[in-house]
């Protein structure tokens, strides 16, 4: 259409989640028409974020600080750790502003079908934090899928002998639903209704 730069831009945009070729073309056109106002600030933000943002060594959250802002926040309840599958789930819980403890991002769920085993999960930092002491409750907020349930069982067996109470978020989490798609009220209800795992 207008040279390899435009094709490359559209091709890269189209690979982003939620984008397809059509939205990629629209976004590219909007930016190309206003390079100073839209494109260069975005390019700078992308570069800054790519350089600065890393997984937190303690919980796996993405942040430009390590330990992350949440782990470093003295106001948070350090006796509670909420285990989530991904950073998107952590963001959902933070957006809902219903939870004041710490998190742990597992980075996936066990899956025989996809060949995801315990060694593929971000588990050692969680075990280390529990071993340090002070943690009394681990809340499992994993997806209500077969893999999520398998992972919850496995984690419960792993964590309970360490002397922590292991609970699971309650009803309201739809089957196969990631926390990210839930509205804040449903999330709050699910968190309140947690029970022994």
Q: Is 121 in the site for Zn ion (CB under 5 A)?
A: no
Q: Taking contact as CB under 5 A, which single stretch among the options 57-65, 90-98, 123-131, 179-187 is the one that binds Zn ion?
A: 57-65
CB-nearer residue toward Zn ion: 47 or 69: 69
Residues in the chain: 197
Please provide residue 137's backbone torsions phi and psi, each rounded to the nearest 5 degrees: -135, 135
Q: Is 68 in the site for Zn ion (CB under 5 A)?
A: yes
CB-nearer residue toward Zn ion: 67 or 177: 67
Q: Is 56 in the site for Zn ion (CB under 5 A)?
A: yes
Nearest-approach distance from CB 138 to Zn ion, in angstroms: 15
Nearest-approach distance from CB 71 to Zn ion, in angstroms: 3
- Of the residues 10, 13, 58, 144, which one makes contact with Zn ion according to CB under 5 A: 58
**Residues engaged in binding Zn ion (CB under 5 A):** 56, 58-59, 61, 67-68, 71
């Amino acid at each position: 259409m207008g040279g390899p730069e435009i094709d490359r831009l559209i091709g890269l945009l189209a690979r982003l989640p939620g984008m397809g070729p059509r939205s990629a073309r629209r976004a590219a056109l909007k930016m190309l028409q206003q390079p100073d106002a839209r494109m260069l600030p975005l390019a700078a933000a992308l570069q800054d974020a790519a350089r600065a943002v890393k997984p937190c060594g303690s919980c796996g959250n993405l942040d430009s600080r390590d330990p992350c802002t949440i782990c470093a926040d003295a106001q948070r309840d350090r006796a509670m750790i909420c285990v989530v599958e991904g950073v998107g789930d952590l963001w959902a819980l933070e957006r809902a502003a219903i939870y004041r403890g710490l998190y742990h991002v597992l980075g996936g769920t066990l899956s025989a079908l996809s060949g995801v085993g315990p060694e593929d999960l971000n588990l050692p930092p969680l075990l280390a934090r529990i071993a340090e002491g002070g943690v009394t409750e681990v809340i499992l907020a994993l997806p209500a899928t077969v893999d999520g349930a398998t992972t919850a069982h496995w984690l419960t067996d792993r964590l309970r002998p360490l002397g922590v109470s292991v609970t699971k978020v309650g009803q309201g989490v739809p089957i196969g639903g990631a926390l990210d798609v839930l509205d804040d009220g449903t999330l709050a209800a699910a968190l309140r209704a947690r029970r022994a795992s």
